[in-house]
Amino acid sequence: MLICSLSELSRCQRQLESQRRQLSQTEQTCADLRRHDADTREAIAAKDAQIAVLRTRLDEADRELAAKAKLLSDLGSSQDRYVPTI
């Protein structure tokens, strides 16, 4: 049979309460970090979506630029046929 003195029991109770507070703080920190992680992942997903939209717009602009460059080249060629250079 294990017999503890009152002072030893009191010390163990204080130690247990201290460990409970530390555990509570650690759990709160973990919860905060999980929320921060979720927010960061959401922000990254939003940025990825923005990048995809920008890439699409850039591709469209590149195609439009290529079409206009071809049209300009074609117009330059047809002008050379009709207007002699001096």
Distance CA 9, CA 52 (A): 64
> How confident is the model at residue 5, as a pLDDT?
87
Contact by Cβ (8 Å): 4, 12:
yes
Question: Is the pTM of the predicted complex or chain greater than 0.75?
Answer: no
Q: How far apart are CA 86 and CA 76, in angstroms?
A: 15
Q: State residue 76's pLDDT score.
A: 83
Instruction: List the pLDDT tens digit at each of the 86 positions of the chain.
Output: 567 788 899 999 999 999 999 999 999 999 999 999 999 999 999 999 999 999 999 999 999 999 999 999 988 887 767 666 56
Amino acid 52: pLDDT:
98
**Rounded-to-10 torsion of CA 71, 76, 80, 84:** 140
- Residue 49 confidence (pLDDT): 98
> What are the structure tokens assigned to 5, written together?
């003195």
Please give the pLDDT value at position 2: 63
